[in-house]
Amino acid sequence: AGRAAQDRFGIDEPVLGALTDAMAVEPGSTVPLARLIQPKLEIELAFVLGRTLVPDFYSDEDILAAISEVAPAFEIADCRWQGWRFGVGAFLADNAAAGLYCLGARVGFDPDRLPEVNYRLVHDGVSCGEGNVLAREDTPLANLCWLVRRLLADGQRVEAGQVVLSGALLAPMDVRAGEYRLHMLGTELALVFRQ
């Protein structure tokens, strides 16, 4: 959860949820809205670990050196609480509203170029959001490093091949039927929702 969500819940660190293989949606596929409850679309950067990190202390540079690839991603947040009204306890009980996710084409990771990444989201040919990674207060790299450290502090390993989604780049938006296309990292990620 980004800074706005932290302020809303009165917490001083991000909130995390687990995404599993069963939640993955293939790029270009169609998702029936009836499968979801109250979906909101988030665009994110996904980081792929190239090597395993075991519980220990790692600098930001150490963590970034373990990343091999980055990809554009959709996360479809889906809340079980009516009207998205809940406190932090309910949010955690709902796995941080994790619903589905879709990963785009992976490209080699270069931490020096990442702040220059621009993105644009289009729904049925109409632009509905754009920006630059650098414009965020809670940058994807800061969120990535926080999450990895949090998991390691809890005694978990972060395995090679695991994917970390680093937080919404735009405010989550209600999902509408139609086709969404995300332009980022020189690639395009598409996903269709139908009634």
Confidence of residue 180 (pLDDT cuts 50, 70, 90): very high
Burial zone of 168 (CB within 10 Å; 0-12 exposed, 13-18 middle, 19+ buried) = buried
Determine, yes or no, domain membership for 193. no
| Residue 96, pLDDT score | 72
CB 99 within 8 A of CB 76: yes
Instruction: Look at residue 42 and give its three-state secondary structure.
Output: strand
| Average pLDDT of the residues in 30-43 | 96
Which residue type sits at 135? A
Determine, yes or no, domain membership for 181. no
| Residue 126, pLDDT score | 98
| Average pLDDT of the residues in 169-174 | 93
Confidence of residue 173 (pLDDT cuts 50, 70, 90): very high
Which tokens hold the place of 95? 């796995």
Q: What is the CATH number of the domain that holds 54?
A: 3.90.850.10
- Residue 121, pLDDT above cutoff 80: yes
Whole-Å CA distances, 185 to 42, 144, 159, 193: 16, 18, 24, 23
- Residue 1, pLDDT above cutoff 60: no
Convert the pLDDT of each residue in 45-99 to its tens digit. Answer: 999 999 999 999 999 999 999 999 999 999 999 987 777 777 777 677 676 778 9
Which tokens hold the place of 132? 């630059």
Number of domains composing the chain: 1
The whole domain housing 15 covers: 3-28+38-118+134-176
Determine, yes or no, domain membership for 140. yes
Max CA separation in the chain (angstroms): 48
Please provide the average confidence, as pLDDT, over all residues in the chain: 90
| Average pLDDT of the residues in 134-162 | 91
Residue that has been written with the tokens 């091949």 in this structure: 161
| Residue 3, pLDDT score | 67
Determine, yes or no, domain membership for 66. yes
Confidence of residue 2 (pLDDT cuts 50, 70, 90): low
More confident position, 6 or 142: 142
Determine, yes or no, domain membership for 187. no
Cα Rg of the chain, angstroms: 16
Determine, yes or no, domain membership for 191. no
| Average pLDDT of the residues in 159-183 | 95
- Residue 9, pLDDT above cutoff 70: no
Determine, yes or no, domain membership for 105. yes
Q: Provide the Cα torsion 134, 117, 8, 171; round to 10°.
A: 130
| Residue 97, pLDDT score | 76
Determine, yes or no, domain membership for 195. no
**C-alpha of 102 from chain center:** 9
DSSP E strands in the chain: the ranges are 30-32, 39-49, 67-78, 98-103, 107-108, 118-123, 126-132, 163-165, 173-174, 178-184, 187-194
